[in-house]
Amino acid sequence: MDAETRGRGEVKMDAETRGHVDAERIFAPGAARPTDHLSASPRQRVSASVFKWLVLVSRIALAALFLFAAGAKLTILKKFAGNVAELLSSLHINYERWQWPVTIAVITAEILAAVLLLVPRTIRTGALWAATLLIGFSTFALYYVYVLHGEKLECNCFGGIIASQLGVTTALRNLGLLVPALIVFFGTKRLRRPQKSTKEAEKF
């Protein structure tokens, strides 16, 4: 066998070896196959699309709700501050000193929740912060009625647009809003998983 024949044989073996290595790398366990996206059934694709829209609608609605609540409070700022003063007084807190700081803090917290929900990188943080606010408002409403036995007071959560007294109704409404907050928190994590898997597969 001359040198030229041996050289051709070595080149052929190297090509076959590289082919086997590339095939193993592409079709290794956990790696994305070119046809993986086609294996999902139409029902699965529809379910994924519906779930994606559910998370998006819940996110936008929750952000809009907090922006609306903050804006409504600003339209009746003095009246809302008066309600805060009365609540602080029932807690035996110096309302003259803390009336405006607490009022501004509540409105700022609601605006912050909306902003976090709207920014893509902080969606889950926004959902968690929104849930914290909703639980906090509900807990205080029940505490005010059943522990402090406070007088009936308009919460002005949505300014003068939606009238509701601080108590069980307000607490149940806030707790009901936990549903979209939880959908956004857990749903966003689920939607981000395929993106991470795709990025990891592209590295190979």
List the structure tokens of 197.
């898997």
| Cβ-based neighbours of 129, under 8 Å, separated by 6 or more | 109, 112, 113, 116
| Residue that wins the pLDDT comparison between 39 and 115 | 115
Would you say the C-alpha torsion 124, 129, 135, 137 has a positive or negative sign? Answer: negative
User: Of all residues in the chain, what percent carry a pLDDT higher than 90?
Assistant: 42
pTM for this model (two decimals) = 0.71
| Residue that wins the pLDDT comparison between 61 and 26 | 61
User: pLDDT by residue (tens digit) across 30-82?
Assistant: 444 444 444 557 777 777 788 899 999 999 999 999 999 999 999 989 989 99
Does the pLDDT of residue 107 top 50, yes or no? yes
User: pLDDT by residue (tens digit) across 117-140?
Assistant: 999 999 999 999 999 999 999 998
Half-sphere exposure of 154 (CA within 13 A, CB side): 13
With 0-12 / 13-18 / 19 or more C-beta atoms within 10 angstroms meaning exposed / middle / buried, residue 123 is buried
